[in-house]
Amino acid sequence: MNNAIIIGAGTHGQIYASYLAEEGINVIGFVDDNEHLFGQNVIGIPVIGKVKDLANSNIKSRARSIYCPIGNNTLRQHYLMDSKKMGYETPSFFHRTAVIGPDVKMGEANYVLAGSIIMPHTTIGDFFMINMSTTIGHHVQIGHGVFMSSGVNVGANLIIEDHAYIGIGATIMTGLGTIGKGSLIGAGSVVIKTVAPNTVVVGNPAREIPKK
């Protein structure tokens, strides 16, 4: 049985359903806390309950694996850790066109989409998620629960701490130091120096703006 459930029936969940189907993984349903979706079909796949319903034996008996491709880093990590405690597997997904270099060390439940490239001697924690055509240089240390959107360019020799969120098309300069825990890099930004934890930076060169 290679049956899976996806947490989140939004657009990310929908694209993962398509990619998983392409690899022969049978997505039997979504779970989603939006109660308006319950009982509906999304791209032909039923929404079979809320996230807490994953604990129900009638759902557990039907699927072995959980995928949670949602952009909210802390929630993605929380849902995947809970799913694992319930006895589900939480596999990684690497699109067949992703290029993961030799000597890259990766943790669990990592998602890497089409055309993304990770160079050797980079290490990545658990619950990492990157969209298409993102490149990550060598000797980068990436923590847990980090999200990178599409077209991000990460240089080499730097640290990205847990739960950082890097917006579409951002560039992170080689050797700049640290992208702090929980920080947010705005779309298209060019980051040339260390970013403090829990801050938001935007623009070229990236500057801090107030966090909402």
Ligand X SMILES: CC(=O)SCCNC(=O)CCNC(=O)[C@H](O)C(C)(C)COP(=O)(O)OP(=O)(O)OC[C@H]1O[C@@H](n2cnc3c(N)ncnc32)[C@H](O)[C@@H]1OP(=O)(O)O
Residues 124-153 that bind ligand X (CB under 6 A): 131, 149-150
Q: Which of 1, 43, 99, 209 binds ligand X (CB under 6 A)?
A: 209
CB of 109 to ligand X, least distance (A): 18
Instruction: Report whether 4 contacts 64 (CB < 8 A).
Output: yes
Query: What would you measure as the largest C-alpha separation in the chain, in angstroms?
Result: 53
Contact characters 96-125, ligand X, x per CB under 6 A: ------------------------------
Position 196 contacts ligand X (CB under 6 A): no
Q: Which of 167, 172, 179, 180 binds ligand X (CB under 6 A)?
A: 167
Residue 187: CA count within 13 A, CB half-sphere = 2
**Toward ligand X, which CB reaches closer, 71 or 91?**
71
Nearest CA-CA partner of 95 in 117, 122, 64: 117
Q: Compute φ and ψ for 20, nearest 5 degrees.
A: -65, -40
Strands 207-209 and 41-42: unpaired
Part in contact with ligand X (CB under 6 A); list of ranges 48-56, 116-124, 155-163, 185-193: 185-193
Preceding amide of 102 cis, omega within 30: no
Position 182 contacts ligand X (CB under 6 A): no
Q: Tokens 């055509």 identify what position? A: 133
Q: Tokens 């990492």 identify what position? A: 128
Q: Tokens 């060598």 identify what position? A: 138
Part in contact with ligand X (CB under 6 A); list of ranges 20-28, 81-89, 114-122, 186-194: 186-194
Contact characters 53-92, ligand X, x per CB under 6 A: ------------------x---------------------
Q: Tokens 């990157």 identify what position? A: 130
Contacts with ligand X by CB under 6 A lie at 71, 131, 149-150, 167-168, 184, 186-189, 200, 202-203, 209, 212
